[in-house]
Structure 1
């Protein structure tokens, strides 16, 4: 049974359960043209998505390196204090512990700020790629006269999957 017949049958059952009646569909009723786009795959494989990821990596790699270096220095200083702790005076050990606590606080703050900035920029870049993908999907919808294009589905067969077409169109539009 074709999808349109399933839809008509489902509508008829629904109408019957509500006490309504439906006229029988005409024999010349057109088939529905339905497409499916795997959004995750588009975000993974499309050139604009890859370019956005590379842009973010370039933008944040220096800061990530600085935060990682800060963490390494903090771990080294903590290990040094633990090793030398028994031979230090009480005042010196307390001073170094306070310094470590302060450095740890700074490290965690810088880590948090980096993560917040990175998340904000990811969201901005993602929104731009999604907007571009939606424009491409709309063009395909209109040019190829689809009745319905879905992005979130549980199952979709390869016959309705237009993900590659969307990726190719996004890659072609520079």
Structure 2
């Protein structure tokens, strides 16, 4: 490479590098531990308490039915020798069917719990996002990262906005409790609008 080409390449590299270095120095960033914020804001604590109570109630119901089925199985095992083959097979089949139904019920409860959690947390997450945006605007932050999901491996704690987000969120006026959406009837595409 000639001296002229080397100088031109160096000049071009410097021309590109200087604005990037100046821009990088003016960028301000922060991060938030979203999971911690959700667990520590008052609304998040209340939502988790409601969800846990709901789950505990369902777990008690499942445990009660499971205990009943266990006792029936023990009774069937004790009385099996005194029953006809047909009766024993029928009772064992019925018991197996009820065990399967209980497992399906548990799966429905788990799906329902996930849906309830999403419904409970959605308005809280929206409010947290608003608080983060206000803090970022106030402090002139260019970026705010989520600590766990962003791939952030290390950041100094001075850039952690979590405590400030929690404090700011908890000072917001209380929002009305989330309401279940009203059921709507399907509308045809060509139906007149009201």
Q: Report the TM-score when normalising by structure 2.
A: 0.70
Deviation readout 1:1-54 (Å, 9 max, x if unpaired): xxxxxxxxxxxxxxx7x9672374699x96432211011211222222111111
Correspondence list, 1:88-167, <5 A: 88-151=83-146, 152=150, 153-167=152-166
Residue 72 of structure 1: aligned partner: 67
Of 15, 18, 30, 1:21 maps to: 15
Find the aligned partners of 1:38 and 1:63 in 2 and give their Cα distance.
31
Note if contact 1:33-1:146 (Cα within 8 Å) is conserved in structure 2: yes
Find the aligned partners of 1:30 and 1:61 in 2 and give their Cα distance.
52
Find the aligned partners of 2:72 and 2:14 in 1 and give their Cα distance.
78
Unaligned 5+ runs, structure 1: 1-15
Note if contact 1:48-1:170 (Cα within 8 Å) is conserved in structure 2: no
Find the aligned partners of 2:18 and 2:90 in 1 and give their Cα distance.
87
Of 24, 36, 46, 1:51 maps to: 46
Q: What's the offset of the Cα at 1:164?
A: 0.7
Note if contact 1:49-1:126 (Cα within 8 Å) is conserved in structure 2: yes
User: CA-atom RMSD, angstroms?
Assistant: 2.7
Does the C-alpha gap of structure 1 residues 155 and 30 become closer, same or farther in structure 2, counting only changes over 3 Å?
closer
Find the aligned partners of 1:93 and 1:142 in 2 and give their Cα distance.
72
Note if contact 1:35-1:161 (Cα within 8 Å) is conserved in structure 2: yes
Q: Report the TM-score when normalising by structure 1.
A: 0.77
Find the aligned partners of 1:134 and 1:34 in 2 and give their Cα distance.
16
Does the C-alpha gap of structure 1 residues 98 and 20 become closer, same or farther in structure 2, counting only changes over 3 Å?
same
Find the aligned partners of 1:46 and 1:105 in 2 and give their Cα distance.
40
Find the aligned partners of 1:37 and 1:23 in 2 and give their Cα distance.
30
Tell me, what secondary structure is at the counterpart of 2:110? helix
